[in-house]
Amino acid sequence: MSPFAQQQQETLLTTLGIEFVEATKSRVVATMPVGPRVHQPFGVLHGGASVALAETLASTGAWMNVDQAVHTVVGIEINANHLRAKRDGMVTGTATPVHVGRTTQVWEVRIADEAGRPVCVSRCTLAVVPQAAR
């Protein structure tokens, strides 16, 4: 098991069923199943679950762009526009960097359904901080 996979055990990623498809410095892709475990009371995908997926992808991409022996990244702001209701099936999130700086990074995350229709679009800002500051 890779160190990255070990970090995912017993986390929100496991709870939500988030699975990585691709992870590079310039693009992170993951899927999340949609069903009762991520529904809000009216039976559709909870916006908070979409935001959790978005921040997971943005944080992963940002983390891959720093020297992990020296720095880590922490989310400092996220916004999301929920564009389409989703009751079941699968969503796929794709994160790409807007800005990769020395002290901050900004990532855009697009979440789509199986047909490629947008479900949510999000932007996440992350701070790059020294490991000891965690």
- Residues annotated catalytic, as ranges: 55
- Rounded Cα distance between 93 and 113, Å, is 9
Q: Which one, of 63, 77, 58, lies nearest residue 128 by Cα? A: 63
Q: Classify each residue of 11-22 as buried b or exposed e, where b means 16 or more C-beta atoms within 10 Å of its C-beta.
A: eebeebbbebee
Half-sphere exposure of residue 12: CA atoms within 13 angstroms, side-chain side: 11
Contacts of 109 (CB under 8 A, 6+ apart): 53, 54, 57, 58, 93, 94, 95, 120, 121, 122, 123, 124
